[in-house]
């Protein structure tokens, strides 16, 4: 085959992917960054307004600030309790106790069903009349227990948190994968030296899965930045705007034809995503080799 033909084939094979990359990623991201500085309804010509949209985000009402506060708290919970639980499950599964495969398989299921359906299911679980939580508490002897979880503050915040708090299977799988990659000899040598089971976990296993945990934190915080269903289908940001988040603001902006404004919120999302990457990379020194 002539070299020129190969080059043409390569170009042809890459063309569809490059088209997707440009149309759905590069151009949109550029559009977001630029039109965030414009007044634009999506149809007429965008008008450059400088930082007006960003000023409006902060000063129009407190929805943006509340969204940021919620994001901060949810990210904190995600990076600690959520990732912590996923990591714990990985370490427990690593012991390969009876039934570990079944547990791993089951843990995956909430990830493969629609998060819209999942949010609806939690809506029902927290229902005061026929939901599991309130009826369970009432059965335990607190006959007068009535909380309208998604309609009261601060209950709504916690109820939304519970829809994702324990479902950290991707963290579990990543950490588990790294645990399996640790050479058996390392453990054998440590045990021969008289290290206890706990010491092996604390001083060998945890440091060696550091990168996996950091990846888990990045993924889980990014998921919080882009969280939508768990709020839109439960409290819809309420009561008031207590449980609002940026994606909900972005959605409102799009359907209300405030596209410039929506894209300023989207810009904040992109910047926050990058910020999280940089912070976690620094904190965990992810570029250093572990062994």
Partner 1 sequence: MKVRVREIPERIFSYGVMLFTFLISIFPLVWVVVSSFKTNKEILSNPFSIPKTLDFQVYSDVFTQYNFLSYFKNSLIVAVTATLIAVFIYSLAGYIFGKFDFRGKNFLFVLCTITLLVPGYSRAQPIFALINKLGLYNTKTGLILVYTSFGMALALFILRLSFASIPRDFDEAAIIDGAGFWRIFWNVNLPLAKSGMVTAGVLMFIQAWNEYFYALVLTADEANRTLPVAVQFFNEAFSYNYTRLFAALTLVILPGIIIYLLVQEQVQNSVASSGVKG
Window of 73-81, 97-105, 153-161, 187-195 that interacts with partner 1 by CB under 8 A: 97-105
Q: Which of 3, 4, 50, 102 binds partner 1 (CB under 8 A)?
A: 102
| 39: contact with partner 1 by CB under 8 A | no
Locus of tokens 């021969």 = 192
Measured N-to-C along each axis, helices 63-77 and 52-59 cross at an angle, to the nearest 10 degrees, of: 80
Q: Which of 229, 239, 252, 286 binds partner 1 (CB under 8 A)?
A: 229
| 14: contact with partner 1 by CB under 8 A | yes
Q: Which of 38, 57, 161, 178 binds partner 1 (CB under 8 A)?
A: 178
| 217: contact with partner 1 by CB under 8 A | no
Print the binding letters for residues 52-71 with partner 1: x by CB under 8 A, - otherwise.
--------------------
Q: 258, 251, 247: which is closest to 47 by C-alpha?
A: 258
Q: Which of 56, 81, 104, 151 binds partner 1 (CB under 8 A)?
A: 104
| 291: contact with partner 1 by CB under 8 A | no
Q: Give dist(CA 197, CA 192) in Å, integer.
A: 12
- Shortest CB 165 distance to partner 1, Å: 9
Q: 212, 248, 240: which is closest to 74 by C-alpha?
A: 248
Q: Which of 145, 158, 170, 284 binds partner 1 (CB under 8 A)?
A: 170
Window of 53-61, 64-72, 141-149, 176-184 that interacts with partner 1 by CB under 8 A: 176-184
Measured N-to-C along each axis, helices 246-255 and 63-77 cross at an angle, to the nearest 10 degrees, of: 140
- Shortest CB 242 distance to partner 1, Å: 21
Number of residues engaging partner 1 in binding (CB under 8 A): 99
Q: Give dist(CA 80, CA 73) in Å, integer.
A: 11
Q: Which of 219, 242, 284, 286 binds partner 1 (CB under 8 A)?
A: 219
- Shortest CB 255 distance to partner 1, Å: 7
Contact (CB, 8 A) for 63 and 142:
no
Q: Which of 48, 59, 188, 197 binds partner 1 (CB under 8 A)?
A: 197
| 47: contact with partner 1 by CB under 8 A | no
Its sign, for the CA torsion 180, 183, 186, 189, is positive
Measured N-to-C along each axis, helices 52-59 and 259-284 cross at an angle, to the nearest 10 degrees, of: 80
Q: Give dist(CA 244, CA 204) in Å, integer.
A: 42
| 174: contact with partner 1 by CB under 8 A | yes
Each residue of 260-281: b (16+ CB within 10 Å) or e? bbbbbbbbbbeebeeebeeebe
């Amino acid at each position: 085959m002539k070299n020129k033909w190969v080059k043409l084939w390569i170009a042809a094979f890459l063309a569809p992917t490059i088209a997707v990359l440009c149309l759905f990623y590069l151009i949109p991201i550029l559009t977001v960054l630029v039109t965030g500085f414009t007044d634009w309804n999506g149809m007429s010509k965008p008008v450059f307004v400088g930082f007006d949209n960003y000023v409006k985000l902060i000063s129009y009402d407190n929805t943006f600030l509340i969204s940021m506060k919620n994001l901060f708290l949810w990210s904190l919970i995600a990076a600690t309790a959520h990732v912590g639980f996923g990591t714990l499950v990985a370490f427990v599964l690593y012991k390969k106790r009876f039934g570990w495969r079944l547990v791993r398989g089951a843990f995956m299921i909430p990830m493969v069903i629609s998060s819209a359906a999942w949010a609806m299911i939690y809506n029902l679980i927290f229902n005061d009349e026929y939901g599991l939580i309130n009826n369970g508490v009432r059965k335990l002897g607190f006959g007068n227990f009535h909380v309208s979880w998604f309609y009261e503050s601060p209950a709504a915040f916690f109820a939304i948190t519970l829809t994702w708090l324990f479902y950290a299977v991707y963290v579990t799988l990543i950490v588990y994968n790294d645990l399996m990659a640790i050479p058996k000899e390392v453990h054998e040598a440590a045990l021969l030296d008289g290290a206890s089971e706990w010491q092996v976990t604390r001083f060998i296993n945890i440091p060696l899965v550091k990168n996996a945990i950091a990846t888990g934190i990045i993924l889980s915080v990014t998921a919080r930045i882009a969280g939508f269903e768990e709020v839109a289908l439960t409290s819809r940001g309420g009561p008031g705007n207590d449980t609002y988040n940026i994606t909900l603001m972005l959605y409102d902006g799009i359907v209300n034809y405030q596209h410039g404004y929506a894209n300023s919120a989207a810009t904040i999302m992109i910047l926050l995503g990058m910020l999280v990457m940089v912070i976690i990379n620094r904190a965990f020194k992810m570029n250093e080799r572990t062994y």
